[in-house]
Amino acid sequence: MIYLDNAATTLYKPRAVEQAVRRAMYGAAGYARGGYAAAGRAGELVYACREQAAALFGVGEPERVIFTLNATHALNIAINALVKPDSRVIVSGYEHNAVMRPLTARNIEPTVLDTPLWDGAAMVSALKQALEHGADLMILSHVSNVFGSIAPLDEIAELLTAAGVPLILDASQSAGVAEIDVKRYPCLAAVCMPGHKALYGPMGTGILLALDARIAAKPLLTGGTGSLSEEMRQPDFLPDALESGTPNVPGIAGLAAGIAFVRAVTPAHIAGQERRLVHELVRALSRESKIECFAGKKQTGVLSFRVPGTPSEVLADMLSDEGVCTRAGLHCAPLAHRTAGTEDTGTVRLSLSFYSTARQLEQAADKVCRLVKKL
- The DSSP result for 148-194, as a single string, is -BBP-HHHHHHHHHHHT--EEEE-TTTBTTB---GGG-TTEEEEEEE
**Region class of 122: left (phi > 0), else alpha (psi between -120 and 50), else beta:** alpha
- CA-to-CA distance for 109 and 214, rounded, in angstroms? 22
Q: For residue 131, what are the CA distances in angstroms to 49, 112, 116, 172, 313? A: 37, 12, 19, 25, 39
- Residue 374: what pLDDT? 86
Assess whether pLDDT exceeds 90 at residue 270: yes
Tell me how far the alpha carbon of residue 161 is from its chain's centroid.
23
Over range 35-50, report the average pLDDT: 96
> Quick one: what percent of the chain has pLDDT higher than 90?
96
Weakest mean pLDDT among 62-76, 159-173, 216-230: 216-230
Mean pLDDT confidence for 138-144? 98
- pLDDT at position 269 is 98
CA atoms within 13 A on the CB side of 172: 30
Burial 64-92, CB ≥16 within 10 A → b, else e: bbbbbbbbbbbbbbbbbbbbeeeebbbbb
Gap between the Cα atoms of 46 and 44, Å rounded: 6
Of 52, 29, 10, 35, the C-alpha closest to 250 is: 29
pLDDT per residue over 311-322, tens digit each? 999 999 999 999
Prediction pTM value: 0.97
Phi, psi of 80 (to 5 degrees): -60, -40
Region 122-135 average pLDDT:
98
Looking at residue 242, its amino acid is: L
Judged against a pLDDT cut of 90, whether residue 375 lies above it is answered with no
Residue type, 133: H
Taking residues 358-365, report their average pLDDT. 97
**What is the rounded average pLDDT of the residues 330-334?**
97
8 Å CB contact between 115 and 126? yes
The pLDDT of residue 228: 85
Q: H or E element: which one contains 92?
A: strand 89-92
Residues 198 and 208: their CA atoms lie apart, in Å, by 15
Distance CA 103, CA 100 (A): 5
SS3 at position 297: coil
Mean pLDDT of all residues in the chain? 97
User: Domains in the chain, start-ordered, CATH in brackets?
Assistant: 2-10+267-374 (3.90.1150.10), 15-265 (3.40.640.10)
Tell me the pLDDT tens digit for each residue of 180-236: 999 999 999 999 999 999 999 999 999 999 999 999 999 999 999 989 889 999 999
pLDDT band of 66, cuts 50, 70, 90 = very high
110 secondary structure, DSSP code? P
Closest CA to 31 of 40, 20, 21: 40
Q: How far apart are CA 39 and CA 32, in angstroms?
A: 7
Gap between the Cα atoms of 58 and 12, Å rounded? 27
Contacts of 282 (CB under 8 A, 6+ apart): 293, 295, 303
